[in-house]
Amino acid sequence: MEITKIEIQKKNKNRVNLYLDNEFNCGLSLEVVVKYGLKEGKEINQELLDFLCNSSEKEIAINKAISYIARYQKTEKEIKEYLFKKGFGDEISQDVIKKLKEYNFIDDDLYAQNYIKYKTKSVGKRKLAYELRKKGINESLIDNNIDIYSQDSDSVLLVAEKYLRKKPRDIKTKQKAYRYLLSRGFMSEDIIRALNSMFKEE
């Protein structure tokens, strides 16, 4: 097969349309075209073409993943789901994940640490663990980091004080506060201890 035309795409200047034997064949990243010296008149076999298409897909997927994580840190699971929505297959996604780990762009352990530090003043351990599981963080990382960075006994007091501000200190309010704090993921014993101290009870 002969490369008869390499055309810059109108909507994306970093991609080209590749024509073989005067027929459109596929789109490639400009980086792959330059890297492998593709030019009009050059002969190319199917094996090399498949390799170039795969390399181009990886380059595109990596660039999309880096753009996705540019503003906020993401977990491995979140990046996989993002790439799947963008139409990339499992093999490409796995290669991208591996490369991003090499660049230290993905670190689920560090993500768990930062997430817990940021959220621990507003939610309890149960909710933190639930949210981290949804993001694909494994149980051992959750358990280790929650034990280190989350202090429910202190946080529950801060959240309770904010909730009770300007509310009457009666039994009905106390019951509502208990349910609210429970919904925020705090443990029952910590909630009871905090509310008893705030309502001046033994």
44 near 1, Cβ under 8 Å?
yes
Looking at the structure, tell me whether residues 58 and 115 fall in a common domain.
no
2 near 43, Cβ under 8 Å?
yes
20 near 5, Cβ under 8 Å?
no
116 near 145, Cβ under 8 Å?
yes
Please tell me the distance from the alpha carbon of residue 130 to that of residue 66, in angstroms, as a whole number.
27
- Cβ neighbourhood burial of 116 (10 Å; 0-12, 13-18, 19+): buried
Residue numbers of the domain that contains 84: 3-102
Looking at the structure, tell me whether residues 145 and 58 fall in a common domain.
no
3-state secondary structure at position 40: coil
DSSP letter, residue 70: S
Nearest-CA neighbor of 194 among 180, 178, 170, 173? 178
The enclosing domain of 39 has a CATH number of: 1.10.10.10
Looking at the structure, tell me whether residues 135 and 173 fall in a common domain.
no
pTM above 0.75, yes or no: no
Looking at the structure, tell me whether residues 8 and 96 fall in a common domain.
yes
Looking at the structure, tell me whether residues 160 and 143 fall in a common domain.
no
Which pLDDT belongs to residue 152? 64
Looking at the structure, tell me whether residues 73 and 163 fall in a common domain.
no
Number of domains present in the structure of the chain: 3
- Cβ neighbourhood burial of 6 (10 Å; 0-12, 13-18, 19+): middle
Looking at the structure, tell me whether residues 35 and 80 fall in a common domain.
yes
3-state secondary structure at position 43: strand
Please tell me the distance from the alpha carbon of residue 55 to that of residue 139, in angstroms, as a whole number.
35
Looking at the structure, tell me whether residues 120 and 159 fall in a common domain.
no
Which pLDDT belongs to residue 202? 40
Please tell me the distance from the alpha carbon of residue 40 to that of residue 59, in angstroms, as a whole number.
22
Looking at the structure, tell me whether residues 8 and 97 fall in a common domain.
yes
Query: Whose structure tokens read 């019951």?
Result: 175
Looking at the structure, tell me whether residues 10 and 86 fall in a common domain.
yes
Which pLDDT belongs to residue 23? 82
Looking at the structure, tell me whether residues 84 and 123 fall in a common domain.
no
Q: Where are the alpha helices (DSSP H) in the chain?
A: 30-35, 46-69, 76-85, 90-102, 108-119, 125-134, 139-149, 152-164, 171-183, 188-198
Along the 202 residues of the chain, how does pLDDT read in single tens digits? 888 888 888 877 778 888 888 888 878 888 888 887 888 888 888 888 888 888 888 888 988 899 998 888 899 999 999 999 988 888 899 999 999 998 889 999 999 999 988 888 888 888 889 999 999 999 989 988 887 776 666 778 888 888 888 888 888 888 889 888 988 888 888 888 888 888 875 4
Looking at the structure, tell me whether residues 85 and 117 fall in a common domain.
no
- Fill in the amino acid letter for 167: K
Nearest-CA neighbor of 99 among 49, 137, 61? 61
In the numeric block, which tokens belong to residue 137?
Answer: 């963080």
